[in-house]
Structures are given as C-alpha cells and as structure tokens.
Amino acid sequence: MYTKVHSVSSNAGVPWRAVLGIIAVAMTLWAGTANASSRIKDLVDIEGVRENQLVGYGLVVGLNGTGDTLNNSPFTLQSLTAMLERLGVNTRGANLRTANVAAVMVTANLPAFATQGTRIDVTASALGDATSLLGGTLLVTPLMGADGEVYAVSQGTLAVGGFSAEGQAATITRGVPTVGRISNGGLVEREIVYAINTKTSLRLSLRNPDFTTSRRIAEAINAFVGKSAAESVDPSTVEFSLPEDTDQDIVHLLTDIEQLRIEPDQPAKVVIDEQSGIIVIGANVRVSEIAIAQGNLTITVTETPQVSQPNPLAEGETVVVPRTTVTADDEADNKLTVLDGGVTLRELVDALNALGVGPRDMISILQSIKAAGALQAEIEVM
C-alpha cells in the first residue's frame, strides 16, 4: 500500500478549489481505467496503410463582394485572366474590378487504397484578402501529391461555418469565414498501387513508442499464431512475418491480429501547457518525500477620504480628511504540507488542493519539485 498524505486544509473559499476537485476526480477515474487492455488495432499503424496529402490552387467565384481586391492580389488577377482566356474570353488589357472572385489553396487527404472514382472531402482556404467565402463555388481544381502528379480533381459549392458582418460603427465575426469545406467535393483520378496481399512481412509502427508495449504486442501475436512470427525490433516497430505453413494471406491474418488485446505501458510524464494553464499528470507519476509550502504576502491599501465641514454659523472651511486603511495578508493559514515517499497521482493532487493551489501555481510547484529531484517523472512543457 502507498502511504497517505498528511496535510492541513486551508483557504476553503479559494475559487480554484472546486476546479481542482473536478480535476482530481476526473484524473482518478482515468487512472482507474489506465490499465485496461486495448486492441492492437488502436495502438499501431500498419506499414503502407496511410493517407497522402494533396494540394492545389484554384479560384472561388460567386462571392457577394467579399472576394479578393484585384489590385492587392495580382495572383488572383493573373489566374482570372488565364481562366477566361482558356474559355475563349479575351481580357488582356481590360481593367477588371470584380470583387466576387477569390484565390484559394485547396487541400485534401487521399485515403489508403482509394480507387478511381472515389470521392473525398476537400478544404479551401483564402489566399488573398478576401473577407468571406460564403456562397462561393470552387472551380475545377487539380490536386497534386508530393511527386507533382495529379491524383484528384475538386469542384463544388463551399460550406462555410463562420460569418462576418459589419456596419459603420461595429463589426462581428464568428468562426473563420475565409475557410470552406466541400463534402465529397474531390474525385480520385489516380490510384496509389500498394499490393498488401502479396506481402509476406509487414512492420507495425507504434503510435506511442515504448519498449514494454512493443514487446507485449510481439508476444501476443506469437501466442495467437502459435510460433515466432513477430519480433520487437525497437520501441516503435514490431516486425511481423507470415508463417510458412499457413493457408491464409497476410490480410486475413491481420484482421485477426488487430483484435488481440494487450495492456499498453506508458512512461511517467507530466504535460504542462503554460499558456492555458492545463496540466495532465500520468498515472505512473510518483513523488519522493518532500515538503511543500505555497503562499504570498498581499498588502491592501484602501483610501476612503471623508469630508469635514464646520458647524452652522461657525467660522472655518470645508476640508477633505484622508482616511487610509492598510491590511496585510501573509496567508498564514497555508501550512507546510509533507508528502511521504511514493505518493500517487490522487494523493499529490489532494495535497496541492489542500493548500488552495490554483493551476498556475501548481505548474510552478511541479517544476520546483522536479528541480529538487523529487518528481519521478518527465515534465513536458508545451
């Protein structure tokens, strides 16, 4: 059993106390299920089974005066002129002043094993000074991969979640009106060939590299197959080979292996986001015996001047008499908390909560505990 935390509670009215209580309960529930088994399917990526990023440059038309200013966006003007010429409209030398066109960058992910004719979602983002893409239509835009080849073509009406409205004295914006999405707006034109069914060996890449997890995956596969078919190569990779005497191909065997359950291991880590004050503490975090005190001296000066005036018919003048009240709060109620060696996640949070510590102060305390060598975990600051 772990030793208990000896602490003296204080500052019951601290605003962050309720928040820390919720954090403690949530992390306790999470810690209770941290050791639950997970499917191998949810822990690894299979070699060759991956998406590919596509990108293209296109024009959005039909905007209600919210497009690019052609004088400020020469690439939009050049693209518009070139497009009209391909359609047989000569605009060379003309002074185009339309505000209903916007240049956009179109992005999409090409799924693994996508065949010709498969539809994919695409996203269009304004490139110039357009204020909104609401109501716009994306014209035919080729989408290229990293090798410069065209793998898909996109076109369609944009769905924009954000909006912007303005008047002479006020402006309101919700979301991002310069980004739109077209559901099933891309059409796959070229396939990426990967014959996984002809493979005799594959590598499984762990999403969270760990020596223990990698070894457990290999052992689970070998126990299922009945022979040494998998090997833990490194913390990130498990190499799997198709047994010679099996009558199944690697695809059928993978569908069975994906459903095997193992208990993933995780390192002791504390993740801190100093900008938002978010702290995530892993279940394996332990703290050696240490004493913690938290408190600051707060001095409050209050000025309440009073008016003094003479009695009726008496000589004198009205004057302002200063009244100053000075109070000092040294947070004497905050006592020193002693954490015994090997305390758990819940005990650590309860002890800091007893001190009335807010998230911002907790970040400093955790970093100080780490500097003292008493925090048996890695701190990652985002």
Q: What is the pLDDT along the chain (382 residues), one digit of tens a residue?
A: 333 333 333 344 444 444 444 444 444 444 444 457 899 999 999 988 999 999 999 999 999 999 999 888 899 999 999 999 889 888 877 788 888 999 999 999 999 999 999 999 999 999 999 999 999 999 999 999 999 999 999 999 999 987 777 776 677 777 889 999 999 999 999 999 888 888 888 999 999 999 999 999 999 999 998 888 899 999 999 998 888 877 788 888 899 999 999 999 888 888 888 777 788 887 788 877 777 666 654 545 566 777 777 777 777 777 777 776 766 555 555 555 555 556 666 677 777 777 677 777 777 878 887 888 878 888 888 7
pLDDT of residue 63: 94
Res 317: pLDDT: 77
Which segments within 133-282 are labelled E, that is strand? 137-144, 150-157, 163-166, 171-174, 179-188, 201-206, 230-234, 237-241, 261-262, 269-273, 278-281
C-alpha span between 221 and 216 (Å, rounded): 9
CB 33 within 8 A of CB 227: no
Residue 121, pLDDT score: 96
Predicted local confidence at residue 328, as pLDDT: 53
Nearest to 360 by CA among 13, 47, 14: 14
pLDDT of residue 333: 58
Task: Specify the DSSP class assigned to residue 273.
Answer: E
Place of tokens 């009215």: 13
pLDDT at 110: 95
pLDDT at 1: 36
Nearest to 14 by CA among 363, 365, 359, 364: 359
Amino acid found at 202: L
Residue 11 pLDDT: 40
3-state secondary structure of 302: strand
How far is CA 46 from its chain centroid? 23
CA angle 15, 18, 19 (to 5 degrees): 90
> Which residue's structure tokens are 């504390």?
270
Radius of gyration of the chain (CA): 33
Q: Are 281 and 345 spatial neighbours (Cβ–Cβ below 8 Å)?
A: yes
Q: What is the pLDDT of residue 235?
A: 93
What gap in Å lies between CA 74 and CA 310, rounded to an integer? 78
Q: Does residue 37 contact residue 259 with C-beta atoms inside 8 Å?
A: no
pLDDT for the residue 327: 64
Between CA 361 and CA 346, with CA 32 as vertex, the angle to 5 degrees is: 30
pTM for the whole thing? 0.68
| Helix ranges (DSSP H) in 227-303 | 250-257
